[in-house]
A = this chain, B = another copy of it.
Amino acid sequence: MNDEAVPFDDRGLAYGDGLFETVLVRDGQPLLWDEHMARLEEGCHRLGIAFPGHDRLACLPACSGPGLHVLKLIVTRGSGGRGYLPPTDAEPRLRWRSSPFSPRRAHWTDGVRVRLCELRLGHQPRLAGIKHLNRLENVLARQEWSDPDIAEGLLSDSSGRLIEATCMNLFWQYGPRWETPSLARCGVEGTLRAGLLRQCSLHEVDRGSDVLLEADSLWLGNSIQGIWPITSLVDSSGQLLRAWSTASLDRSLQAEAHALLGYPLPA
């Protein structure tokens, strides 16, 4: 573990000038490690931060003990610079912590209630997709509700396109076709989503919120929790917009996802 404090002049603190990953680790073995490393490397490339190196990172998951853990790692650009201009010799700072973890297993089977968030994600293609440390939009969106029966909030962008949930990606099904929002303008490209795009027939599309009322089923997923079916959708005032039964769900995407994470497929 190296979760020591970061100094006042760290640019991750000063400007959110850095990246993070949260990795599911089972008995010291990371899940979706290639996807996490690819996203981190892409983030470093986009921000102009030196990638800490595969060898240095690859040994971290093994430090988690037996059982399930979440490994959180933060890479900042390091210290210093005159204002926003990074120093040419910036030395990236790596911090990481591993914590025991249990997924919300009941959500796999029973599904979740979600709401529509009022906040609209702004467009910034230069930062879209990567998991940088500028996450105030997510924090503001997550503060919109406190009801523990609402598991997530769905976010649209300033043009009305559906994008993601506050900490999960969104998927839906039209008959045999599976789709997920394009994240070219905003949103985070989750590593579970990346794994599914690699091995399933899953299509990235631009769609407005009308899809929520039309799709056969809606799902939320990330690399820590696995995949949850959405069973009810409420608007930002709590009004029910639609409900789905879990009785005849096509759980094929969930099966693919849970295979990637070593999670069981609900019966």
- Chain A positions within 8 Å of B, measured between CB atoms, are 3-8, 10-17, 20, 47-48, 74, 76, 83-86, 95, 97, 119, 122-124, 126-127, 132-143, 158, 166-167, 186
- The residue that A97 contacts in the complex, of B8, B74, B95, with Cβ under 8 A, is B8
- A85-B143 contact in complex given A20-B14, A74-B14, A126-B119, C-beta closer than 8 Å: yes
Count of chain copies: 2
Task: Please list the 8 inter-chain residue pairs (A to B) with the smallest Cβ-Cβ separation, ordered nearest first.
Answer: A16-B16, A5-B5, A122-B122, A134-B134, A15-B135, A122-B124, A84-B142, A3-B8
Residues of B within 8 A of A7 (CB): 3, 5
Q: How far is the CA of A138 from the CA of B74 in the complex (A)?
A: 20
Q: How far is the CA of A143 from the CA of B83 in the complex (A)?
A: 11
Residues of B within 8 A of A83 (CB): 142, 166-167
- The residue that A136 contacts in the complex, of B74, B127, B158, with Cβ under 8 A, is B127
- The residue that A8 contacts in the complex, of B4, B158, B167, with Cβ under 8 A, is B4
Closest chain-B Cβ to A140's Cβ sits at a distance in Å of 6
Query: Once the chains bind, are B134 and A136 in contact (CB under 8 Å)?
Result: yes
Closest chain-B Cβ to A20's Cβ sits at a distance in Å of 7
Query: Once the chains bind, are A122 and B119 in contact (CB under 8 Å)?
Result: no
Residues of B within 8 A of A12 (CB): 13
